[in-house]
Structure 1
Amino acid sequence: MNWANFFYMGGYGFYVWGSYIATLILLGAEVLQLLRRRKSLREQDRR
């Protein structure tokens, strides 16, 4: 098995890797949103 076959995944590589990328982007967006929300709540607590 070589790397090209691994990434191609029998013709399903586009869907598999696309799903991984979409998941990572959404998880990253969730983390950023949570960090912003936490910062906002802490600022509200100080007032």
Structure 2
Amino acid sequence: MFFESFGEFLAMGGHGLYVWLSYGFGLFILILNILLPLQSRKRLLVEQARRLRREEARS
């Protein structure tokens, strides 16, 4: 596909809004798929360290 200008490229023949929204939404989902497991892992490690400290304090 050939576009005469950058503005035409962004407009995508009148479908630019849908094209760029779908790209943005897809990128957002990919970023969430990276960040949420990292956040969960960090939360789990903090929770396990807290639990280990409690068990050591009891004994």
TM-score bracket, shorter-length normalisation: 0.7 to 0.9
Q: 2:33 is aligned with what amino acid?
A: E
Identity %: 36
Structure of greater relative contact order (alpha carbons < 8 Å, 6+ residues apart): 1
> Which 4+ stretches in 1 moved above 6 angstroms?
none
Gaps of 5+ in 2: 53-59
Paired with 1:11 and 1:37, the residues of 2 have a C-alpha distance of: 41
> Displacement, 1:17?
0.2
> Displacement, 1:44?
5.0
Q: Which residue of 2 aligns with 1:33?
A: 36
Gaps of 5+ in 1: none
> Structure 2 matches for 1:3-42, cutoff 5 A?
3-42=6-45
TM-score (norm 2): 0.64
Deviations 1:3-34 (A, max 9, x none): 00000000110110000001111111121101
